[in-house]
Structure 1
């Protein structure tokens, strides 16, 4: 699965700060995460990774390493 970053994505900070997900589920990017979760289950996968919410973009080193690993 692949996607492009768009407006109102769920970020690492959203996942970290909203343990109950009440604000996060209203973001436009939440639908992509739900789709990925359903597809992972359908494919028999236990885990999936979404860069928009798994990369801490506040950390320049982490962001740089993640971007470099995508290419």
Structure 2
């Protein structure tokens, strides 16, 4: 994701609970890294478990995605 794309997308994402002083722990992975991983998955048609090591763990990316939210 380019910096210009990130400027457009970032305001559309929900604010993490820890940033709203709700007492939650900070998230372990950056939203931009999560979106890059989802983009890689969609672009290359790979399986979740085949996510390259350059990205966050597949199960965290899955939980972050809409698919993970629907399946939970």
TM-score bracket for the superposition, by shorter chain length: 0.3 to 0.5
Greater per-residue helix proportion: 2
Q: Which has the higher contact order (CA 8 A, sep 6+)?
A: 1
